[in-house]
Amino acid sequence: MRAMNIEWFGFAAAFLTSVSFIPQAVMTIRTKNTSGISRGMYSMFTVGVALWLYYGLALGSWPMILANTVTLVLAGTILGLKLRYG
């Protein structure tokens, strides 16, 4: 496959994995119920996403940059609510 064609797989993966966090974030923001959310898991996940974002920036990979920026904001929001209300 040509490099440009394979980039679209990256954008599709980025879109799907990032958008998958929206329902959890919306529900958590609305209800402020974080009882079913693991603080340890979300802490490690959020740091991991930040590292993936850094890696994407270092590579100049737009699918990685966009996906991890969106996911970092959503995961960070959920983690912040867990720390505040949990």
| CATH number of the domain where residue 43 is located | 1.20.1280.290
The pLDDT score that the predictor gives to residue 1 is 53
For residue 79, pLDDT beyond 90:
yes
Please tell me the distance from the alpha carbon of residue 31 to that of residue 82, in angstroms, as a whole number. 12
The mean pLDDT value of the chain amounts to 90
Number of domains in the chain: 1
Instruction: Tell me the mean pLDDT in the region 37-58.
Output: 95
Given pLDDT bands bounded at 50, 70 and 90, which one contains residue 10? confident
In 3D space, the residue among 10, 83, 86, 14 whose CA is nearest the CA of residue 46 turns out to be 83
Q: Does the pLDDT of residue 25 top 80, yes or no?
A: yes
Give residue 25's domain range. Answer: 3-85
